[in-house]
């Protein structure tokens, strides 16, 4: 090949240098190199293949982001959206969804773009298309669902045929889902003096809630062994709308115009859920590699979704 013998040592060197990439992606990069009239006559170095792989995934990610950016600026957060690229759905769902994306300010946009591009490139490098939501729900559909009104069909972006295929092949079903009772934050460990020694213990209220999470997790697992794979965890906490508020303010809270900015803290709700599910839903908390958490007003509950993220 290229006038050189491919020894086992050379093959091992290339394998080690490119093992982080999916084999199909490496094959595609090599095909592009061979067909390049300027460089195709030379054997590519490992660094050359790295550049091609990163360049191709970077281009794809930037193209995908341009669709997202243009659609948000032209259509806004109100319509539900279906793109002609399933990975856009997956990445945006990991980042919180279409409505949450719309809350970002202009000075935050470059950071949002970078996060999107990095997540998108990661999937493209692995040639991976994981589960994704069929529709990115907009504010209008979210509000109409809560008020029991008719839902307008989503807006198709890009190739209509491909967008319809994305919608047909998407899924709303997580690997595991359970809903504990009213959201309770994990309290700080307390200390006391016992037999001349300092002892630490979990507050009773926190312990009771973690037990409720354990029961809900056990019911959802239905006798299955704890998951051993990498986990993507979604926690949605809904706090009760204060009855003392005016009807106008209550309605605004129901559709997300008024946010719950008081306690319990969202981080502590997630900690309580993780401690309750640890050892039942998954073996160890270290398996949780992605966490998306939100806190809104609504019927008091905590929704927990668990997905395999490999």
**Owner of token pair 């794979």:** 229
The residue ranges of DSSP E strands in the chain, in sequence order, are 81-83, 155-157, 176-178, 190-194, 197-201, 231-239, 288-297, 301-308
* Contact criterion met (CB below 8 Å) for 274 and 283: no
**Per-residue model confidence as pLDDT tens digits over 99-155:** 888 888 999 999 999 989 888 888 887 666 677 889 998 988 887 876 778 889 999
pLDDT value at position 68? 96
Q: Is the peptide bond before 181 cis (omega within 30 degrees of 0)?
A: no
pLDDT at 206: 59
> What CA–CA distance (Å, rounded) separates 275 from 166?
36
Question: Can you tell me the distance from the alpha carbon of 89 to that of 97, in angstroms, rounded to the nearest whole number?
Answer: 8
What pLDDT band is residue 76 in, cutting at 50, 70 and 90? very high
Per-residue pLDDT, 284: 92
Q: Which domains, and CATH codes, for the chain?
A: 8-169 (no CATH), 176-308 (3.30.1330.70)
C-beta separation of 297 from 238 below 8 A: yes
pTM value is 0.50
Q: Can you tell me the distance from the alpha carbon of 127 to that of 129, in angstroms, rounded to the nearest whole number?
A: 7
Q: Give the DSSP H/E element, type plus range, for residue 269.
A: helix 266-277
Condensed to tens digits (0 to 9), the pLDDT of residues 188-238 reads 544 444 555 444 434 566 567 778 888 888 888 777 778 887 888 999 888
Pairing of strands 301-308, 176-178: antiparallel
**Sequence-distant (≥ 6) Cβ neighbours of residue 141 within 8 angstroms:** 79, 80, 151, 152, 154
């Amino acid at each position: 090949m290229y006038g050189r013998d491919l020894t086992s040592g050379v093959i091992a060197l290339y394998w080690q240098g490119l093992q982080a990439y999916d084999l199909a992606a490496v094959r595609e990069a090599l095909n592009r190199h061979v067909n390049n009239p300027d460089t195709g006559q030379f054997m590519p170095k490992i660094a050359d293949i790295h550049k091609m792989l990163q360049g191709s995934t970077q281009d794809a990610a930037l193209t995908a982001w341009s669709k997202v950016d243009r659609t948000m600026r032209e259509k806004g957060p109100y319509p539900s959206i279906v793109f002609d690229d399933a990975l856009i759905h997956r990445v945006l769902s990991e980042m919180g969804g279409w409505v949450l994306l719309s809350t970002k300010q202009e000075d935050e946009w470059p950071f949002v773009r970078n996060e999107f591009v990095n997540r998108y490139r990661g999937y493209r490098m692995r040639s991976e298309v994981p589960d994704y939501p069929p529709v990115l729900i907009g504010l209008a559909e979210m509000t109409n669902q809560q008020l029991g009104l008719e839902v307008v069909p989503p807006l198709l972006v890009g190739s209509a045929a491909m967008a319809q295929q994305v919608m047909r092949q998407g899924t709303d079903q997580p690997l595991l889902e359970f809903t504990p009772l009213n959201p309770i934050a994990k309290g700080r460990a307390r200390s006391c003096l016992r037999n001349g020694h300092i002892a630490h213990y979990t507050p009773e209220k926190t312990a009771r809630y973690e037990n409720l999470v354990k029961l809900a997790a056990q019911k959802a697992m239905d006798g299955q062994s704890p998951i051993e794979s990498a986990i993507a965890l979604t926690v949605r906490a809904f706090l009760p709308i204060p009855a003392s508020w005016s009807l106008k303010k209550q309605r605004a809270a129901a559709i997300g115009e008024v946010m719950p900015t008081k306690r319990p803290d969202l981080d502590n709700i997630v900690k309580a859920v993780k401690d309750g599910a640890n050892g039942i839903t998954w073996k160890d908390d270290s398996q949780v590699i992605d966490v998306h958490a939100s806190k809104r007003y609504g019927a008091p509950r905590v929704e927990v979704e668990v997905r395999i993220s490999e």
